[in-house]
């Protein structure tokens, strides 16, 4: 029997009066009579869902969503408010798993704070679509860096080379009319140390996040951090260029760290306190290095060095927009009022930045260094 026939049979035989609820005993007998094979995780969640209803019934719509591998916010709340936990042992105790499944389990405990969400993700994960966005961005950044490194024969402090700053990818205030530069600067890096730091964090944090939350959400978060970084520099550090993907990287990192803090008791990732301290130390060190290069460059240069404000604005994007994205696992963002507040705030900032870039430079008489 296919799934649509099952749904029709359930409604006709078990809920003929269209009450919206089905007794779990009737549903169990229906499953046994028709020899239907259900995913054990779904059957466990169905039993847990029943515990949230005093009459031992399950909502028909929530049953449909469960069978269709979808979960509404009401279904999640019903599970969370149930009077007993899922029947099986916790996911961490499962044995006999292959290498890939062990990695998926590791990702589940690394990213998700709720055991129900972890097990749901573990059983539903099909690696389709694969987490390609962060990987592709990192590969392109490495390729671009190697191309300029070979061309300039220089692998550190590349921004001191005029040919590097002439790149059509670098954001420069003198070229701000070329809109793509507000995004493309993320492929250019000051040197090997900045590239290594960004690539490492992108892969360690971005790939697991993309595996759990999907390419659309994580790419939106990353690109919002990148765009906010260049726009913030154009407002607060108007003479400085920008290079590096730190805006997107800090959006990912700050969102993940904030999610860990907000759900500290539920997170089961090992050594979470030590790892958080190390992450904060590394991020602070990178910001400190960027500030030093901006105001106390070690070598004479023909113009201002790249700004550090992209790091800070990326962190703000991660804490605001990213935290909501990561806390809304498998829930529609469009149905949440807080999501629209954040979107409206970001659009307001975007419009303000556009008008600022069009009019403020002339009105304030800012002396922009000539483009290389």
Catalytic residues: 246, 311
How wide is the angle at C-alpha 317 spanned by C-alphas 316 and 323, nearest 5°?
A: 100
Residues composing the chain: 372
In 10 A of CB 204, how many CB atoms? 14
Tell me the two tokens of residue 139: 């590969």
Q: Is the dihedral of CA 343, 345, 349, 354 positive or negative?
A: positive
Q: Which among 290, 199, 283 is positioned nearest to 245, based on CA atoms?
A: 199
Residue 121 in tokens: 């993700």
Count helices and strands (H / E) in the chain: 19, 2
Say how far apart CA 258 and CA 276 lie, in whole Å: 10
Provide the 10 A C-beta neighbour count for residue 213.
Answer: 23
The DSSP element (H or E) to which 57 belongs, if any, is strand 57-59
Place of tokens 């009459």: 55
């Amino acid at each position: 029997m296919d799934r649509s026939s099952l749904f029709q049979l359930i409604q006709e035989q078990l809920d003929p009066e269209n009450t919206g609820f089905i007794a779990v005993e009737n549903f169990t007998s229906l499953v046994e009579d028709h020899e239907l094979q259900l995913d054990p995780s779904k059957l466990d969640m169905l039993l847990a869902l029943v515990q949230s209803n005093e009459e031992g019934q399950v909502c028909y719509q929530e049953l449909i969503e469960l069978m269709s591998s979808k979960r509404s916010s009401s279904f999640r709340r019903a599970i969370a408010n149930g009077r007993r936990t899922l029947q099986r042992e916790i996911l961490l105790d499962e044995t006999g798993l292959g290498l890939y499944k062990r990695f998926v389990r590791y990702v589940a405990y690394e990213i998700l704070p709720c055991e129900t969400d972890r097990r749901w993700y573990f059983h539903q994960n099909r690696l389709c679509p694969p987490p390609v966005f962060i990987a592709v961005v990192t590969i392109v950044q490495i390729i671009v860096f190697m191309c300029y490194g070979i061309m300039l024969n220089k692998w550190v402090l590349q921004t001191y080379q005029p040919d590097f700053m002439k790149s059509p990818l670098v954001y420069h205030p003198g070229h701000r009319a070329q809109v793509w530069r507000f995004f493309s600067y993320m492929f250019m890096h000051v040197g090997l140390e900045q590239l290594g730091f960004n690539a490492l964090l992108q892969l360690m944090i971005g790939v697991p996040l993309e595996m759990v939350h999907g390419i659309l959400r994580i790419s939106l978060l990353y690109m919002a951090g990148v765009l906010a970084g260049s726009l913030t520099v154009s407002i607060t550090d108007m003479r400085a260029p920008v290079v590096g993907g730190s805006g997107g990287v800090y959006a990912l990192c700050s969102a993940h760290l904030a999610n860990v803090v907000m759900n500290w008791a539920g997170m089961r990732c090992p050594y979470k306190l030590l790892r958080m301290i190390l992450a904060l130390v590394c991020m602070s060190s990178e910001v400190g290095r960027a500030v030093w290069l901006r105001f106390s460059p070690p070598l004479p240069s023909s113009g201002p060095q790249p700004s550090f404000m992209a790091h800070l604005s990326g962190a703000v994007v991660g804490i605001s927009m990213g935290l909501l994205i990561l806390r809304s696992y498998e829930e529609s963002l469009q149905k949440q009022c807080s999501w629209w507040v954040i979107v409206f705030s970001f659009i307001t900032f975007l419009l303000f930045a556009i008008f600022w870039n069009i009019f403020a430079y002339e009105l304030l008489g800012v002396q922009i260094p000539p483009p290389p």
